[in-house]
Copies of this chain bind each other. A is one copy, B any other.
């Protein structure tokens, strides 16, 4: 099933730079794995923001939550989730 996920990241000012770099590196590895599995279907950067627009294709809500909760930068994230249904005007090409 498809989920729209909009993520905005706010890094606390007083964080230790090396800890942040480590979190970013682990974040990149984690997201690559989910992309290769096909679960993280689309990942785009919002121009001008430390944030992204993503489309997830996962089995259910619990799996979506499991993935997002596992992201190293999760504690600094504001996340908006919208369940996506098939649009009546979408042409036969599969939506994703």
Contacts and interface: CB of A to CB of B under 8 A. Distances in A.
Interface of A: 1-5, 11-15, 27-28, 31-32, 35-36, 42-50, 52-53, 55, 60-62, 64-66, 68, 74-76, 79-91, 93, 95-96
20 contacts: A1-B61, A3-B83, A4-B46, A12-B13, A13-B75, A31-B89, A32-B89, A42-B55, A43-B90, A45-B84, A45-B86, A45-B87, A46-B84, A47-B64, A47-B83, A48-B65, A48-B79, A49-B79, A53-B84, A61-B85
In the complex this chain forms, how many copies of it are found? 10
Given A61-B85, A79-B49, A44 B4 contact: yes
A87 B44 contact: yes
